[in-house]
Structure 1
Amino acid sequence: MEIKIVVATHKQAAMPKDDMYLPLQVGAAGSPGLGIQRDDVGENISKKHDMFAELTGMYWAWKNVNADYIGLVHYRRYFRGRGVEGFKEIANMDDVQGLLHVAPVILPRKRNYYVETVYSQFAHAHDVMNLDVAGCVVKEKYPEYYSAFENLKNRRSTHICNMCIMRKDYFYEYCSWLFDILLEVGLRLPDNQEPRCLGYIGERLLDVWLETRQVKYVEKSVVCYGVENTVCKGIKMLKRKVFGRK
């Protein structure tokens, strides 16, 4: 079982010393090298990093990585496990293989929005018009997925961070679907968008794909390095709900 998990980073950061992990400089186009694999070689969308964020790394993996299982994590967010050299809490090969024997897809545990829906949370945090444009694209290109998209208005939990490990066929299928939608959305959005606007949409589309395809998955907790805690995030979410989008 060959597993490759891309670790997306845009700056110098400590990386796990394990062959399963592939450090990748995302948004590398026009930037100095970090001494690791860049996402501006081979078929890529590196120049679109401002809008896609870590998803330029997922695109690069889709087009340039060949392994039985392919995944994406962040330089500061990993699936939790028994540890590798330099990182005592992140998943190692045995951890990942064990989970993949249970299901062909590994995802982070869902984030729960107890006081609002996935759709209304997006509206409070971002420009909801962008998500509505994505809905229009889904309805036009993949109408069989549209009812699951509409369910975002009722869901109170979702998988976030664009993190996953998937069997190759699922990874390729998901990426083909996701980027066909997001690249079209990017063409329809007005200029002067907030940074990583398409990355935020991508987070909400994962469950749309999962629900429609009925893909079996297993969830794993995430260990974070240097990321604000969930209490702070919860307070910010409540402020946005009460006072409106920042």
Structure 2
Amino acid sequence: MDVAIYGAQAIAFSTYKAIKEIYKEYNVCCFIVTSIDNNPTELDGIPVYSLSELIRMKFNKNNMKVVIATPESVISEIKDNLEQKGFTNIESIDSEKFAYLQEQYYKKTAFCDVLSSYPYGETKAELEIYMTKFWKDKELISKMLLPQYFVSVQAGAANTDVRVCDILDNEGDNISARNGDYSELTVLYWAWKHMMRGEKYYGLAHYRRYLMLDEKDLYRLENNDIDVVLPYPMIYESDIQVHHKRYLSEEEWMALLQALEELYPNYAEAYKDILKKPYFYNYNIILAKKNVMDDYCNWLFSILFRVEKIVNSNGNRKPNRYIGYIGENLTTLYFIYNQKRLKIAHTGCKFLK
């Protein structure tokens, strides 16, 4: 069956790679986008068409399945538009389906370990995951009863009198006022400095996205001596440099490379090869043992503070979340660099609408 994937960014390309690996009976014939602007013209040699262009080409809609692989916030609108245009065979890839595709893909390709593949034992791990909330966050349509190990923390509390959480990121040693650049990382910094005291697994989540962990997974962590749990890496075409070119200016990117060279030259050298790979850890989401989280945060924030000093030496620069995007790049670098030293497991990332 011919399949067209709606989308042309990381979710769409990761979906394509999984379909190609798992469902040999499917032939992905093209990618569809609403507008070709800011999108590639082809992915892995397969053309990317705007929807209007595809319709003009008179594809047989009855013989084509359209798989929507975009952020969930726009899936409903895309599906309605496709139905209005006469498409009937449509499948939407929500976060649950996407996680399944990623799980099956990585089980087959073995690039990274899948958490659900580990046996579970008798010891249940203790978790504490800090869920960032911001006073301008949109209200969620989907309501979820979250486990008690989630701790809500208001991000950027120093910049507003509005309160959405009992726990704030502007108490004690903090970088709350710099939330406009650091995004959810102001909560990670605050939690690292004030909350990570016991021998638990500590983590970071976002009010609308978090790691998918079921009850059995909690019995897998300690029993298999897992150091870190990360979301499945996204797959980029042709390598992960696509990410920084989309989200960072040249000045911001060069500041990161300079900071790495100054502070951690071994990482700077390794990054040259890692950048040529297609795997990238999005979202600044993590769960790790205390000692691992401590080492990671110490490494991460030393680099971010140096980048900030290079880019914004006079403190007058308009915030644009660039540090948050750099954080994703550094998460990718740190854990791929240390993948032989650390036992890293992966799971899906749940998105709430």
1:15/1:23 contact within 8 Å kept: no
Partner Cα separation in structure 2 for residue 164 and residue 5 of structure 1: 9
1:115-134 matches, within 5 Å, as 116-134=238-256
Please tell me whether residue 107 in structure 1 is matched to residue 230 in structure 2.
yes
Please tell me whether residue 148 in structure 1 is matched to residue 273 in structure 2.
no
What residue identity is the alignment partner of 1:30? N
Please tell me whether residue 21 in structure 1 is matched to residue 150 in structure 2.
yes
Question: Helix, strand or coil: the match of 2:158?
Answer: coil
Aligned to 1:8: 132
Change (3 A) 1:100 1:189: farther
Partner Cα separation in structure 2 for residue 204 and residue 213 of structure 1: 14
What residue identity is the alignment partner of 2:349? V
Change (3 A) 1:164 1:35: closer
Work out the percentage of aligned pairs sharing the same amino acid: 27
Aligned to 1:177: 299
Q: 1:79 aligns with which of 206, 211, 221?
A: 211
Task: Select between 120-129 and 47-56 the one with higher mean Cα deviation.
Answer: 120-129
Q: 1:58 aligns with which of 188, 199, 207?
A: 188
Partner Cα separation in structure 1 for residue 163 and residue 346 of structure 2: 34
Scaled by the length of structure 2, what TM-score is found? 0.57
Report the Cα offset of residue 62 of structure 1.
0.6
Name which one, 1 or 2, has greater alpha-carbon Rg.
2
Kindly tell me the number of residue pairs found equivalent between the two proteins: 215
Question: Helix, strand or coil: the match of 1:72?
Answer: strand
Question: Helix, strand or coil: the match of 1:98?
Answer: coil
Partner Cα separation in structure 1 for residue 251 and residue 240 of structure 2: 14
RMSD: 2.0
What residue identity is the alignment partner of 1:69? Y
What residue identity is the alignment partner of 2:309? L
Question: Helix, strand or coil: the match of 1:101?
Answer: helix
What residue identity is the alignment partner of 2:155? V
- 5+ residue gaps, structure 1: 81-90, 227-246
Relative CO higher for 1 or 2, CA cutoff 8 Å, sep ≥ 6?
1
Change (3 A) 1:149 1:94: same
Change (3 A) 1:127 1:46: same
Scaled by the length of structure 1, what TM-score is found? 0.80
Partner Cα separation in structure 1 for residue 156 and residue 180 of structure 2: 8
Partner Cα separation in structure 2 for residue 197 and residue 7 of structure 1: 20
Report the Cα offset of residue 30 of structure 1.
3.2
Task: Select between 45-54 and 146-155 the one with higher mean Cα deviation.
Answer: 146-155
Report the Cα offset of residue 122 of structure 1.
1.4
Report the Cα offset of residue 92 of structure 1.
4.8
Change (3 A) 1:60 1:16: farther
Q: Deviations over 1:41-90 (max 9, x none)?
A: 1211101100100000110111011232110011000112xxxxxxxxxx
What residue identity is the alignment partner of 2:170? D
Report the Cα offset of residue 100 of structure 1.
4.8
Please tell me whether residue 199 in structure 1 is matched to residue 318 in structure 2.
no
Change (3 A) 1:15 1:35: farther
2:133/2:164 contact within 8 Å kept: no
Report the Cα offset of residue 16 of structure 1.
4.3
Q: 2:178 aligns with which of 48, 55, 58?
A: 48
Q: Deviations over 1:92-124 (max 9, x none)?
A: 55533424533210000101113x321233113
1:148/1:211 contact within 8 Å kept: no
Partner Cα separation in structure 1 for residue 302 and residue 144 of structure 2: 31
